[in-house]
Amino acid sequence: MSDQLTRIKRMVATLNAADVRRICTALAGGLVLALMTGPDGSITSPLYGAQQSFLTAHVIGYLIFGAVLAFLMTFRAKTKDGTWRRVRTEPRKTFVQTLAASRNVMRKTALSLTALVSIGVALIFADISGPPAPHKISWHEIFHQFLFTRTYGYLLLVLALWFAIANQLFQLSDKRLTSLPRPVLIVGGLVVTLFLALCADPFLPARFSLDAISPASKHSMFHHWTTYFWLVLGVAIILPWVFKRRPTITRRPPRPMATLRSSPSMRFLTYVIAGFVVLEAPKYLSQYWQITLYQQIGVFCLLAIGLNIVVGFAGLLDLGYVAFYAIGAYTTAYFSGSLPVQPPFHLNPFLTIPCAIIVAMMAGVLLGLPTLRLRGDYLAIVTLGFGEIIYVLANDWVRLTGGSIGTGLVANFSIHFLGINYVWNEANPLSYYYLLIAILLPAIFLFDFLNHSRVGRSWAAIREDEVAAASLGINALKYKVMAFAMGASTAGAAGVFTAVKVGTLFPNSFVLQLSITILVLVIFGGMGSIVGVLCGAIILQWLPSYLNFHAYLGFQQSDLYLYIGALLVVMMIFRPQGMIPSRRRMREFHDAEEGLGSADPLGSINQESPS
| Chain contacts with another protein (rule: CB under 8 A) | 35-36, 40-43, 46, 49-50, 315, 317, 319, 370-371, 374, 376-378, 380-382, 384-386, 388-389, 392-393, 395-396, 512, 516, 519, 523, 558-559, 561-562, 564-573, 576, 588-589, 592-595, 598-600, 602-606, 608-609, 611
Tell me whether residue 429 or residue 528 sits nearer to another protein (CB atom): 528
What distance separates the 2 farthest-apart alpha carbons in the chain? Answer: 89
Q: Which of 365, 351, 312 is nearest to 486 (CA)?
A: 365
Tell me whether residue 33 or residue 299 sits nearer to another protein (CB atom): 33
Run of H or E residues at 240: helix 225-242
Run of H or E residues at 429: helix 429-451
User: What's the CA angle centered on 315, arms 313 and 320, to 5 degrees?
Assistant: 105
Question: Nearest approach, Cβ of 468 to another protein (angstroms)?
Answer: 16
Q: What are the start-end ranges of the H helices in 1-148?
A: 2-13, 17-37, 48-54, 58-80, 95-101, 104-128, 139-144
Residue 49 CA, chain-centre distance (Å), reads: 35
Judge contact between 585 and 593, C-beta under 8 A.
no
Tell me whether residue 42 or residue 471 sits nearer to another protein (CB atom): 42
Tell me whether residue 242 or residue 564 sits nearer to another protein (CB atom): 564
Which residue type does 113 have? L
Question: Nearest approach, Cβ of 500 to another protein (angstroms)?
Answer: 28
Tell me whether residue 70 or residue 564 sits nearer to another protein (CB atom): 564
Tell me whether residue 213 or residue 562 sits nearer to another protein (CB atom): 562
Tell me whether residue 426 or residue 593 sits nearer to another protein (CB atom): 593
Q: Which of 447, 517, 496, 481 is nearest to 324 (CA)?
A: 496
Tell me whether residue 324 or residue 386 sits nearer to another protein (CB atom): 386
Question: Nearest approach, Cβ of 574 to another protein (angstroms)?
Answer: 9
Tell me whether residue 79 or residue 604 sits nearer to another protein (CB atom): 604
Question: Nearest approach, Cβ of 596 to another protein (angstroms)?
Answer: 10
Question: Nearest approach, Cβ of 565 to another protein (angstroms)?
Answer: 3
Give Cα separations from 575 to 136, 186, 301, 561 (angstroms): 43, 42, 22, 19
The number of beta carbons lying within 10 Å of the beta carbon of residue 469 is 21
Residues in the chain: 611
Beta bridge partners of 148: 207
**CA atoms of 179 and 185, how far apart (whole Å):** 9
Question: Nearest approach, Cβ of 390 to another protein (angstroms)?
Answer: 10
Judge contact between 538 and 301, C-beta under 8 A.
yes
Q: Which of 346, 317, 325, 316 is nearest to 334 (CA)?
A: 346
Judge contact between 451 and 584, C-beta under 8 A.
no
Residues with Cβ within 8 Å of residue 544, at least 6 apart in sequence: 296, 557, 560
Run of H or E residues at 423: strand 420-423
Tell me whether residue 112 or residue 548 sits nearer to another protein (CB atom): 548
Question: Nearest approach, Cβ of 87 to another protein (angstroms)?
Answer: 24
On the CB side of 498, CA atoms within 13 Å amount to 29
